[in-house]
Amino acid sequence: MPARLRPLEPADLPRVVDLSLRAWEPVFTSLRTVLGDEVFQRLYPDWRSDQERAVTATCTSTLMNATVADEAGAPVGFVAFAADPATRLTPPALPRPGRRTPAASTAGPISPPPATHCSKPSR
């Protein structure tokens, strides 16, 4: 049965955080290898807790739309995005030191997805 897209519910957060941690673990493992333990620990002393806080804050923000791919009543994927309903444009990223604002705000309108089902990724 294909996964169904639906709004994130508070009860989904533990599973969504777990999905995020599992997705990012290979990235941080690679960073540890490339940077070495000492530099990695200085930059990311507790990346799992940081990631949990970031995902929770993003998915529960009133400025964001959080959606899960639900399969048999459990999230198997998720996405969170912000869009301006008046223009249907994604607003520019929040300014951060040393980061340029992307030109996403000049892109065309965002079209709604054609269906509310998605296929399970092949493995």
89 near 105, Cβ under 8 Å? yes
CATH for 3-90?
3.40.630.30
Question: For residue 91, what pLDDT is reported?
Answer: 55
Starting at the edge strand found earlier in the chain, the sheet holding 117-118 runs: 74-81, 65-71, 3-7, 117-118
Question: For residue 87, what pLDDT is reported?
Answer: 61
pLDDT level of residue 62 (50, 70, 90 thresholds): confident
Phi-psi region of 62 (alpha: psi -120 to 50; beta: other; left: phi over 0): alpha
> What residues contact 46, with CB distance under 8 A and at least 6 apart?
none
pLDDT 10s digits, 34-53: 999 999 999 999 999 999 99
70 near 50, Cβ under 8 Å? no
Provide the residue ranges of all domains of the chain, joining segments of one domain with +: 3-90
In the chain, pLDDT over 90 holds for what percent of residues?
A: 59
